Amino acid sequence: MGLCFVWPIPNDLLLFHRNGFIYPAILLALGLFIRTPQIRAMINERQARPALLILLLLTLFILINGFIFAPDIKEMLDSWDGQWLRPVLLFCCGFVLAPVIQSQFPSITADRLFTAIVLCFWGVICVHLLDTAWLYWRDGIIHWGETRIVFNRTRMSFQINMITGFLIAELLARALIHQRFLTLKTPFLAFMLLANLVCTALVDTRWGTIGLVGSLFSTFILLGLHRMRRGNILKIGSIFLVLLVAAIALGIASWKTDPRWQSLRSDAETGWNAPFTSYCYNVNGGAIPLNAEGQPMNHSNGCRASFFHRGWEIVAEHPFGIGPRKEAFRFILRRDLQTDKVTIPHSHYGLIEFGLQNGVLGIAGWLALLVACWYIGWRHYRHGKTMPGLFLLLFTIGFFSRTMVDHNLKDHYLEQYMMLTGLLIGICCLRSRDSHTQNGS
């Protein structure tokens, strides 16, 4: 639980490195699972076998591919260990966590465990809101777009969207299909959601806002189609209308308050072919291109378009990647252009970064893993454990969508995703108490 709270916080703000939480948890959970037949009998590993097999093959492929194509084997091994192997171990830890804890503390059911984890993740959001209130009391102004508890706005936005997705799914499930997973009362869940929305406005990230709207409608569609009956069409339609009005209001507010929307198309067209000598790639001395209106191109609008364009071009030029490596985008550009003036560390797109490191086959393997996780969620959502399956479905879709606009296949982003995905798959694959008692005897 402590790990869930400190995960997004930079290590230099903590009294100790967060790996001090991660590795003991991995060793304890996997050790108990491997050594105790009764715990292994509590989970139906066969249902998760496709995802586990793909994960194993992808892990071996990334390592072997790195040995073949990496320019620096030592750095490749360091990055593979920290950026990939640790998340894989956390996936395995999450997968066995529910049966391990239930074997030691029978009163902590899967829903109580997941509720406690969500609350611990939410703690960082509470600290940010309290810190913002303190700064407002001290300075007399609202510090929009500033974060002190985490490294930057993107990290806070990711944290908010992750928790908000679960809250939206839970609240809509209670309203539409009368099922629940989290053990908290509905008014408190609504309060948590409101706090997250306020925090989203304070952080002021466009992609975070878009992600919230997408999560809202994808959840509604899944639940609305789950048990569509004539008797509840009016209720579902009414809720959809409310959500649509809220989304439109949010969109209008964002359009009016964020000037970046006004020049989005012009900036994107200008940035698409921005030269490598521009500000996008050299933030210290590069020139800022002018858009069609003769105004300096907005960095967020134009440079992201350039990174998307150039990033996929580089993936095509290096189809096998360069092996696991931090800041692969900058390394390849500096090497290919024979200059050290490129200062941008990464492309801002998770899927592109994964391809730069692990090649086209690496991207295919990652997508196959996501499909396997999605299928497990879908199967349980439709046949049996509706709520854990729904959470797994939406979490997988949401994380993949974020890789298309942000670099989240690294560090604590990937660690959190892999641990929670493993946990949800493990919960979906839990046997009933009577069943695992018979299997363990």
Tell me the DSSP string of 320-373: T---S-TTHHHHHHHHHHT-S-------S-HHHHHHHHHHHHHHHHHHHHHHHH
pLDDT at 438: 45
Nearest to 398 by CA among 167, 228, 219, 243: 219
Q: Is residue 329 in a domain? A: no
Burial 316-329 (b: 16+ CB within 10 A, else e): eebeebbbbbbebb
Three-state secondary structure call for residue 173: helix
Instruction: Report angle CA 3, 215, 401 to the nearest 5 degrees.
Output: 75
pLDDT at 216: 73
Q: Which domain holds residue 422?
A: 2-261+348-440
Instruction: Tally the domains of the chain.
Output: 1
178: left (phi over 0), alpha (psi -120 to 50) or beta: left
Judged on CB neighbours under 10 Å (0-12, 13-18, 19+), 431 is middle
Q: Is residue 273 in a domain? A: no
Q: Is residue 357 in a domain? A: yes
Q: Is residue 321 in a domain? A: no
Burial 377-395 (b: 16+ CB within 10 A, else e): bbbbbeeebbbbbbbbbbb
Q: Is residue 170 in a domain? A: yes
**Which residue type, as a one-letter code, is found at position 92?**
C
pLDDT at 281: 95
Q: Is residue 423 in a domain? A: yes
Measure the CA–CA gap between 391 and 398, rounded to whole angstroms.
10
pLDDT at 225: 67
Measure the CA–CA gap between 50 and 333, rounded to whole angstroms.
37
Q: Is residue 342 in a domain? A: no
Alpha carbon separation from 44 to 55, 80, 143 (Å, rounded): 17, 30, 49
- From the CB of residue 295, how many other CB atoms can be counted at a distance below 10 Å? 13
CB distance 347 to 329 below 8 Å: yes
Measure the CA–CA gap between 55 and 354, rounded to whole angstroms.
15
Nearest to 325 by CA among 26, 148, 83, 115: 83
Measure the CA–CA gap between 368 and 362, rounded to whole angstroms.
10
Three-state secondary structure call for residue 439: helix
Measure the CA–CA gap between 441 and 273, rounded to whole angstroms.
66
| Model pTM score | 0.91
Q: Which residues of the chain have pLDDT under 70?
A: 206-209, 225-233, 236, 250, 253-258, 433-441
Q: Is residue 279 in a domain? A: no
